[in-house]
A and B are shown apart, each in its own frame.
Chain A
Amino acid sequence: MESFLTFCRGPLLILAFSVFFLGAARQVALTFVELGRAYRRAGDQAVNLKFIFKRSLGWIIPVNGLRGTRWVYTAASVVFHAGMLLVPLFLAGHIELIRKGVGLAWPSLGPGAADALTLATMAALLALVVLRVASRASRFLSTFQDWFLLALCLTAFLTGYGVAHPLANPLPFTFVYIVHLLSAELLLVLVPFSKLGHVILFPLTRASWEMGWHFVPGAGERIRTALGKEGEPV
């Protein structure tokens, strides 16, 4: 158990980070290649960069969403995303791990704030799950990936909380620690290969979405013709 823990904290962690960074770089590069191709093919080549920027900002700070009908969903989502970003990045223990590995360090969250944020994130996550189940449309659109990633996030946070509070944790410490490491590493590895990719591709998705509007009308029909699937729904 102890040696497996060492393995999880050492080589496996390096592997997870390597896959995360390299895979992310690969996705960004490929997206740029595809964007460039789409740009060359698009009928209207004037791309409104300002508009893309505005829209991206609008998605990051969803003020409008809070006023709308689904304000609970928006609020939960904002809290969840904030927690997902802040807790792993600014937890003192994580910073210590990184400082030992590559010598970089930055200020950390206090333990109280970290605890509060962790609990808030988990609550928001559960709220998101409930909303997803409650809404008919979301339930039917959800794939295995959606459920699995939510479960994985919950595991990582729950075990992380267990590791930070060993005395309140009924399970064996090492076991919880290993589960925490494994789930977090799996999350990192999955970023470049699943919908978690929006962590890095977020601004680019806006760009490609924007690019889509610049194709000449009827471009989709032509693709269908080229594929020999006229009249079928895509």
Chain B
Amino acid sequence: MRNNRMFVFKAILWCVAGLAAAVAVLRFALGLGVATALSDTTPWGLWIGFDVMGGVALAAGGFVIAAAVHVFHRETFHAAARPAILTAFLGYGAVAVGLLFDLGLPWNIWHPMIFWNIHSPLFEVAWCVMLYLTVLALEVAPVILERTPFQKAYRFLSRLALPIMILGIMLSTLHQSSLGSLLLIMPFRIYPLWYTHLLPELFFISAICLGLNMVMFESSITSWLYRREPETKMLGGLAKLASAALAFYFVVRIADLAYQHKLGLIFAGTWEGNLFILEMLLSTVLPMVLYTLPAVRRSPTGLWLISMGSVLGFVLNRVNASGLSQVWATRSFYFPAWTEFAISLGIVSACGLIFFFIQEHFPVDPHGLNDIEEQRELADKSSPAFAPFTQVWLGEGWRKSARVYSMCFVVAMALGLTLAPKTEPAVTRKAERARGANVLRVGDGPRYVYFDHKRHQDEAGKEKSCGTCHHLHLAGDVGTPCSECHRRLFVPTNVFDHDRHVERAGGRESCAKCHGPGEPQALTVMKTCQDCHQKDMMAAGNTVVPAFKNPSAASYKDAMHKMCIPCHVTKAADPKVNLPNLGRCGACHDSGTQSEKAYKTEVPPGQEGIGRT
């Protein structure tokens, strides 16, 4: 029987990957500003907090299991070793790819190799990740090579396995802790509950805890997807180990807080305090206690749920330390744009797909591979599927899947290209510097107006009136744009060039020439166009006049289309004018050579009106 569970899951992963591919195109074509919600106050967002910080920690299962199995000889965990190392390899690959997205100049990613700064923790992380990725590739290579003709290479790498494993553990120790060192430089950003001199040590210990939980979670989910018996005995052993590791982490973290006299902050009832409680409960306290219960250790569902909770909790820890806890200092709340989520999830999906591919074609788990191969043979023998509308044979087995998956990818990518933002988000037309200042910036350009906050407040209803203008939950809301209330000041026009009028009339002091001395914001005392332009444009018989008497001036497009075209059309019909194409779009719109043709072509008499049809 076909494994439909796996089929649907993979189709979903392909959809997410397609969406991410679309966002990737925009991110590299248009820059970070368009594709992310990052800002100068929050220059690191989801891609660093989740993809890099979380990703490296999630891949910790590789070195933890390698140490347990190959160094400490815990043979019970042997079944988890190869999947865990493969996950680590893909996880670090994901970190590298995620970095390519996050770096402003990704083509310079190799620079740490030649430009050295040993004082930078990020320099150390970069080197360790580079080396560890190589080490992991060497660790994964035997799995790929085992059933290929390259037996010489396979035997060579297998003999090297132990030194490579130990080198991998050494490198992991360094950069898992260095990710903590990364944050040591920012005591002014990170909330005291997360900032401590022990950050590197805490990151290392929590990576071990997270690694164990991740191995359990992954093993459970793989057996569910492939409909296999869960390896309960091994999971139970891992749970015991994880419980001990979590207890150690808990003690170190709380003791450190107590030593710094920060325990009071946890229960202060602040947003950060509650976040801390949530993180600790989910990642540490609950699994630590529950794993000690034998009933829980025997239940695959229980272990699956608890390990997932713990994994999420530790990812939350990384996100907290590198992002959420800093809202306290930056005072600007950053929420990732959907495009950022799309890239993060897309990278994870791609890793999942590669993981399944390797799992299904190479002896990561030899027993599982046999089952899969049997299923594949069955599928290949089943009759090919037929798509009636396109009149195509879909083929059998994997070729049918390939058609469906590629379809998912293509449709998702097309949707992504349609939905993704094309221009940088900006605080447009929002009033700024309202707090305490009497000068307000409005509009896209540096246009300043005098703004009497107190008077506005008094007229709107004293102290209780804040909500009239602030916190209206408009897109990019900082303050309410003036246009919300003073609609008539913002008539939809660009026929009227305010800046040019200001310039011609004599700069900033000239406002009163048009706006009247008393009430600059009221339209009643404002001069109308014809007050100055009586001669040039308000002459009798000009069709333009009625539109300009309207207090809401016509937009440029309306003005041209509604006022010019009728006359153009009349003239075009007039044989005396002899410009038959005058009424066509090309007469005014510049479309290469066409405009000249449309406007200037001399048509012999007797054929007028042809161009006008």
Interface residues of A (CB under 8 A from B): 11-12, 14-15, 18-19, 22-23, 25-26, 29-30, 33-34, 37, 92-93, 95-96, 105, 107-108, 110-111, 145, 165, 167-168, 193-195, 197, 227
B22: chain A residues within 8 A (beta carbon): 18
Nearest CB on B from A131, distance (A): 22
B418 at the interface (CB under 8 A from A): yes
Determine whether the beta carbon of A18 is less than 8 Å from that of B593. Answer: no
On chain B, the residues within 8 Å of A12 by CB distance are: 418
User: Which residues of chain B come closer than 8 Å to A93, judged between CB atoms?
Assistant: 585, 591
- Supply 29 A–B pairs (Cβ within 8 Å), ascending by A: A15-B415, A15-B418, A18-B417, A19-B411, A23-B410, A26-B410, A33-B399, A33-B402, A34-B395, A34-B399, A92-B591, A92-B594, A95-B591, A95-B592, A96-B589, A96-B591, A107-B592, A107-B593, A108-B591, A108-B594, A110-B593, A110-B597, A111-B586, A167-B569, A167-B612, A193-B390, A194-B389, A197-B390, A227-B383
The interface residues of chain B lying within 8 Å CB-to-CB of A195 are: 391
Q: A30-B403, A30-B406, A107-B592 are in contact. Are A168 and B613 (CB under 8 A)?
A: yes
Further contacts, 18 of them, CB under 8 A, given A18-B413, A30-B406, A95-B591: A14-B417, A15-B414, A15-B415, A15-B417, A18-B415, A18-B417, A23-B414, A92-B592, A93-B585, A93-B591, A96-B589, A96-B591, A110-B594, A111-B584, A111-B611, A167-B569, A168-B613, A193-B390
- Give CA–CA (A194, B389) in the complex, Å: 7
Q: Say which residue of A18, A37, A96, A168 sits within 8 Å of B414 (CB atoms).
A: A18
Dominant SS at the A interface?
A: helix
Of all chain B residues, the one with the shortest Cβ separation from A37 is B399
Distance of A28 Cα from B496 Cα, bound (Å) = 53
Asked whether, in the complex, the Cβ of A111 is within 8 Å of the Cβ of B612, the reply is: no
Question: Contacts of B419 on A, CB cut-off 8 Å?
Answer: 11
Compute how far the CA of A205 lies from the CA of B69 in the bound complex, rounded to whole angstroms.
55
Chain B binding site: helix, strand, loop or mixed by DSSP?
Answer: helix
Residue B45 at the A interface, CB < 8 A? no
Within 8 Å CB of B138, what residues of A?
Answer: none
CB-based contact B407/A26 at 8 Å: yes
**Which residues of A have CB within 8 Å of B418?**
11-12, 14-15, 18
CB distance from A118 to the nearest CB of B (A): 12
Q: B residues near A, CB below 8 A?
A: 22, 383, 389-391, 395, 399, 402-403, 406-407, 409-411, 413-415, 417-419, 569, 581, 583-586, 589, 591-594, 597-598, 611-613
- Is the Cβ of A193 less than 8 Å from the Cβ of B410? no
Decide if A30 touches B383 in the complex (CB within 8 Å): no
Alpha-carbon distance A22/B418, docked complex (angstroms)? 13
Which A residues touch B407, using CB under 8 A?
Answer: 26
Chain A residues contacting B417 (CB-CB under 8 Å) are: 14-15, 18
Considering only CB atoms, which chain A residue lies closest to B420 in the complex? A14
Report Cα–Cα, A197/B414, bound state, in Å.
18
Asked if residues B613 and A167 are in contact (CB atoms below 8 Å), the reply is yes
Contact A19 B414 (CB under 8 A): yes
Count of chain A to chain B residue pairs whose CB atoms are closer than 8 Å in the complex: 78
Set of chain A residues within 8 Å of B410, measured between Cβ atoms:
19, 22-23, 25-26
Separation of A105 and B592 alpha carbons in the complex (Å): 9
Q: How far is the CA of A111 from the CA of B594 in the complex (A)?
A: 7
Q: Is the CB of A111 within 8 A of B592?
A: no
The residue of chain B having its C-beta at the shortest distance from the C-beta of A105 within the complex is B592
- The CA of A96 and the CA of B583, in the complex, are separated in Å by 19
Minimum C-beta distance from A39 to chain B (A): 15
CA distance A1 to B354 in the complex (A): 47
Complex alpha-carbon distance, A108 and B585, angstroms: 15
User: Do B594 and A22 touch (CB < 8 A)?
Assistant: no
The 4 closest A-B pairs by CB, nearest first: A18-B414, A92-B591, A15-B418, A18-B417
**B413/A22 in contact, CB under 8 A:** yes
Contacts of B594 in A (CB 8 A): 92, 108, 110-111
Q: How far is the CB of B70 from chain A (nearest CB, A)?
A: 40
Cα(A108)–Cα(B597), bound, Å: 12
Q: B402 touches which one: A22, A23, A30, A145 (CB < 8 A)?
A: A30
Which residues of chain B are within 8 angstroms of A19 by Cβ–Cβ distance? 410-411, 414
Q: Closest approach, in angstroms, between the C-beta of A6 and any C-beta of chain B? A: 12
**Set of chain B residues within 8 Å of A34, measured between Cβ atoms:** 395, 399
Say whether B592 contacts A193, CB under 8 Å. Answer: no
Q: Note all chain A residues with C-beta closer than 8 A to B415.
A: 15, 18
Report the separation of the CA atoms of residues A178 and B22 in the bound assembly, to the nearest whole angstrom.
27
Which residues of chain A are within 8 angstroms of B591 by Cβ–Cβ distance?
A: 92-93, 95-96, 108
A33, B401: Cα distance in complex, Å:
13
Closest partner residue, chain A, to B395 (CB atom): A34
Closest B residue to A21 using CB positions: B414
Given the complex, which residues of B lie within 8 Å of A107, measured CB to CB?
A: 592-593
Q: How far is the CB of B313 from chain A (nearest CB, A)?
A: 39
A18 to B414, CA, bound (A): 5
Query: Which A residues lie within 8 Å of B395 (CB)?
Result: 34
Q: Please, which residues of chain A bring their CB within 8 A of the CB of B592? A: 92, 95, 105, 107-108
Complex alpha-carbon distance, A105 and B383, angstroms:
49
The answer to whether A111 touches B402, judged by C-beta atoms less than 8 angstroms apart, is: no
Q: A26 contacts B406, CB within 8 Å?
A: yes
A19–B581 Cα gap in the complex (Å)?
37
Q: Which residues of B contact A197 (CB under 8 A)?
A: 390
- The CA of A195 and the CA of B390, in the complex, are separated in Å by 7
**Nearest Cβ in chain B — how far from A41, in angstroms?**
12
Q: How far, in angstroms, from A12 to B417 measured CA to CA in the complex? A: 11
A197 to B395, CA, bound (A): 19
Q: How far is the CA of A91 from the CA of B581 in the complex (A)?
A: 17
Q: Which residue of A lies closest to B22 (CB)?
A: A18
Residues of A within 8 A of B413 (CB): 18, 22
Query: Using Cβ atoms and an 8 Å threshold, which residues of chain A touch B399?
Result: 33-34, 37
Tell me, rounded to whole Å, the shortest Cβ–Cβ distance linking B342 to chain A: 15
User: CA A34 – CA B390 in complex, angstroms?
Assistant: 16
**Cα distance, A100 to B613, chains bound together (Å):** 27
CA distance A22 to B411 in the complex (A): 8
Say yes or no: B383 contacts A193, CB within 8 Å: no
Given contacts A30-B406, A34-B395, A96-B591, contact A165 B613 (CB under 8 A): yes
CB neighbours (8 Å) of B403 from chain A are 30
- The answer for the CA separation of A108 and B586 in the assembled complex, in Å, is 12
Query: How far apart sit A23 and B410, CA to CA, in the bound complex (Å)?
Result: 6
Nearest-Cβ distance from residue A2 to partner chain B, whole angstroms: 11
- Please, how many angstroms separate the alpha-carbon atoms of A151 and B600 in the complex? 37
Who on chain B is nearest to A19 by CB?
A: B414
Closest chain-B Cβ to A135's Cβ sits at a distance in Å of: 21
Distance, CA A145 to CA B370, complexed state (A): 45
Give Cα A39 to B410, complex, Å.
26
Q: How far is the CA of A107 from the CA of B389 in the complex (A)?
A: 38
Docked complex Cα distance between A165 and B598 (Å)? 13
Nearest opposing residue in chain B for A189, CB measure: B414
Report chain A residues within 8 Å CB of B583: 167
Chain B residues with Cβ below 8 Å from A108 are 591-594
Q: Report the separation of the CA atoms of residues A33 and B395 in the bound assembly, to the nearest whole angstrom.
A: 12
Give every chain B residue within 8 A of A37 (Cβ-Cβ). 399
Q: What's the minimum C-beta distance from A233 to chain B, rounded to whole angstroms?
A: 16
Given A18-B417, A167-B583, A29 contacting B406 (CB threshold 8 A): yes
Is A193 a contact of B612 with CB atoms below 8 Å? no
Complex Cα spacing A37 to B611, Å: 56
CA–CA, A25 and B593, complex, Å: 34
Q: In the bound complex, how far is the Cα of B419 from the Cα of A14, in angstroms?
A: 9
Q: How far is the CA of A40 from the CA of B583 in the complex (A)?
A: 62
Check A145 against B389 for contact (C-beta < 8 Å): yes
Residue of A nearest to B583 (CB): A167
